[in-house]
Structure 1
């Protein structure tokens, strides 16, 4: 997948919002290392997230 395609498919793991071009956080799952993206709103509200690969949940 190209970088442009990857940016277009990024979505918040908590709410599903397309986060391309927004102030979103990108980090690796503490358990398995899968890349996770969260939008600014979900980060600010401390919404729970779940890793799509291993099921790890965090605030």
Structure 2
């Protein structure tokens, strides 16, 4: 993987899998605006997530 690809690789904040190239959701944290990425499986199962910056918890 090139340096540019590593910088753009995303991980699901709920389960930690690499979601680069997968159908996933990326959105801003409702509290601090930090980018959050979630895989389709965790979204479908409504798994909890926590913002790495401010600790916001969401479904």
CA shift in 2, pair 1:44/1:30, >3 Å: same
Q: Give the number of equivalent residue pairs.
A: 57
The aligned counterpart of 1:5 is 6
Give 5+ residue unaligned stretches, structure 2.
none
SS of residue in 1 equivalent to 2:27: strand
Name the Cα RMSD after superposition. 1.3
Residues of 2 paired with 1:6 and 1:27: CA distance?
Answer: 17
Moved over 4 A (4+): none
Does 2:32 correspond to 1:49?
no
